[in-house]
Amino acid sequence: MWCCKPVQWSRSRSIPGLVLAAGCAAMAPAAVPDWLREAARLPVKETGTVAAVVLLDEQATHVRDAGEIRTTYRRAVRILRPEGMNEARVAVQFDSETRIASLKAWSISPQGREIETKEKDAVETGLSADTLYSDTRSKILLIPGAEPGATIGYEYEQRRRPMILQDLWWFQEDVPVRRARFSLKLPAGWEFGSNWVNHGPVEPRLAGERHWVWEMDNIAAIEDEPLMPPWRAVAGRLAVNYYPTEGAGGISLRSWNDLGRWYHELAAPRRQLTPEIRAKTAELTASLATPEAKLKAVARFAQRDIRYVAIAIGIGGVQPHAAQEILGARYGDCKDKVTLMAAMLSGMGIESHYVLVNSSRGVVAPAAPSQAAFDHVIIAVRLPKDIPTSGLPALYQHPSLGSLLMFDPTDEMTPLGSLRPALQASHGLLVRDAGGEMILLPQLSPESTRLVRSAKLTLSPAGTLFGDVSEQHHGSYAVERRSTLRREAGLDRSKVLERFLGSFLGNFTLESAGVENMDALEGSLGLHYRFSAANYARTAGDLVLIRPRVLGSKGMSVIDNRERRYPIEFEVPSQHEDVFEINLPAGYEADELPPPMEASCAFASYRSRTDVKGSVLTYQRSFEVRVSQVPADKLGELNEFLRRVGADERKQAVLRKKAP
């Protein structure tokens, strides 16, 4: 379904098909199939922190003449550690076009005890909190007897008539896979095409008439690495497209253009401009003088006044509701919000287009056309010449359409003109009348995400540091901080600052705090607070030692230097500036100051300086990240830069008591 509601700044990942079951199935005498017994005899050599090993992962697809697809899925897993017991939680999705023909599971204990679980033991569940209604549901089994040393397995058959004639085979996981197999049977006259993602091509063997089998052994696990891309962006997968004989039904994909044409035909009739939509647009924009202000008003309405609620029934999982229905109900999912906004813009003479995206950067593979690559929809607004592009950095320059402004009306915290980090530098499908076009969404410049912090502080003779701090958060920094503060209610918002201060100060007290422009999304977010920190300075005889860099740290921990598989991924390019002014206690002067320091690499730069004029010590620091991703083979260069930055931030200034 394309009805994703973005979660700000989330880096979690999940394994498809594994969810928490509501209860345990009844145990029954086992009739363990031969394929599971054979898999259970495979030796397992993994040790250490490996939680489980997939002994067999098999997906067998049989396409019938009329276009019905029957898929049998088999999986066998050896549990090695308690953490691997989540492999016993199995969920199989179905909807009005997909029927589960059978579902069974088994376990074989280390002592050889066998247990069978049947479909009647499954728990059925469905709706998410933001979904009003959906015909997509899950049957869930919790396989009994799962324990370290046990082998568990399950098998199910699905019968379906998909809109898009394609299968995706995800063969790589976060645990090792001993054997993975995908088999395909096609009727006479049908053809297929395949695309490999994050893996070199593997040729199938012919297992019978019009029966092909792809098989791989000993597939390495996707190991967690610090700051790695999302799991689905790096996992190996195979996309198989089916090309039927005439009249078989279903849509075949030979290119992204095919998918774009299909979606345009599906969605275009839903964005009709009605008198009610025209009237609402006029109401929102009547008092506004400029085209830019009118565009912002319509965007704000779709973003803030249309509540996010999904209704996904059948094709409703990908087809938007009619714009008039969305306006009347005042709710809809991502594609509904885009549809209503597009209809309103058309009444203003502004052209716009759907852009199909994934809510995680890197999941869409440009070389592998697939409907399943997308879980979200945003809008591309073709800016008229009378709307200036300055202050709107989320622009894509199209060779024939000109300036396209990318906007996500589902994201309630990111204003028009910006894009949340996960969508920046990510691929999306621009949907036009003639079809689809794969584009790379804009990467905003470092200046678009900026934090400026200034402090006027005083160091007492007893070593207590106190004073006022002012911060201005711009772009994605403002979105992140607003999102955090919104989750805190009333006085609890001070806890956000207390957690921050606690990272850099020992015995401190937050004395006051204020927020500026909390709800003005287009502007910067201001934070103003006052604190005191006892024993900030350390004394050694007649010397006093203080760290000029009071708050904030850009010298993040050096990343593990072991051989790395995946790129290092930052949220966005960004800038950070600090100025700390510290009034020194009477009778002290600077004896030694950290020397000025500059460091740079291909990806970032850093500069700091500490000066004393009269009784005021001033520390200035600037830090810029110029990219969102660093190649894995450049880890050494990045780590050397981070070491230098971290060492500089830890340096201390030495004060000496003046001679009488």
Q: How confident is the model at residue 43 (pLDDT cuts 50, 70, 90)?
A: confident
Domain 256-444 has CATH 3.10.620.30: yes
Taking only the tens place, the pLDDT of each residue in 375-386 is 999 999 999 999
Alpha-carbon torsion angle 547, 553, 554, 560, nearest 10: 110
Q: Which pTM does this prediction carry?
A: 0.89
Q: Which residues contact 363 (CB under 8 A, 6 or more apart)?
A: 230, 232, 233, 373
Give Cα separations from 331 to 273, 302, 307, 367, 550 (angstroms). Answer: 18, 9, 4, 35, 46
Locate tokens 């934070």: which residue? 527
Which pLDDT value is given to residue 595? 96
Of 379, 346, 468, 49, which Cα lies nearest the Cα of 224? 49
Give Cα separations from 621 to 76, 548, 550 (angstroms). Answer: 55, 10, 11
Q: What share of the chain is helix, strand, coil (3-state, %, to 5)?
A: 20, 40, 40
CATH of span 447-657: 2.60.120.1130
Which pLDDT value is given to residue 24? 42
Measured CA to CA, the distance from residue 560 to residue 558 in angstroms comes to 7
Which pLDDT value is given to residue 160? 85
Considering only residues 336 and 248, tell me which one the structure prediction assigns the higher pLDDT. 336
- Contact indicator for 345, 299 with CB cutoff of 8 Å: no
Of 561, 576, 567, which Cα lies nearest the Cα of 625? 576
The neighbour count for residue 255, using CB atoms within 10 Å, is 12
Locate tokens 């896979």: which residue? 177
Its CATH architecture, for the domain 28-243, is: Sandwich (2.60)
What's the CA angle centered on 611, arms 610 and 616, to 5 degrees?
115
- Contact indicator for 158, 245 with CB cutoff of 8 Å: no
Q: How confident is the model at residue 26 (pLDDT cuts 50, 70, 90)?
A: very low
What's the CA angle centered on 536, arms 531 and 541, to 5 degrees?
150
Q: Which two tokens stand for residue 641?
A: 């830069």
- The percentage of the chain sitting over the pLDDT mark of 90, rounded to a whole number, equals 73
At residue 656, φ and ψ (nearest 5 deg) are: -125, 140
Measured CA to CA, the distance from residue 49 to residue 27 in angstroms comes to 30
Taking only the tens place, the pLDDT of each residue in 514-537 is 999 998 888 899 999 999 999 999
Q: Is the pLDDT of residue 356 over 90?
A: yes
Q: Is the pLDDT of residue 305 over 70?
A: yes
Query: Which residue ranges make up each domain of the chain?
Result: 28-243, 256-444, 447-657
Q: Is the pLDDT of residue 25 over 70?
A: no
Taking only the tens place, the pLDDT of each residue in 450-505 is 999 999 999 999 999 999 999 999 999 999 999 888 887 655 778 889 999 999 99
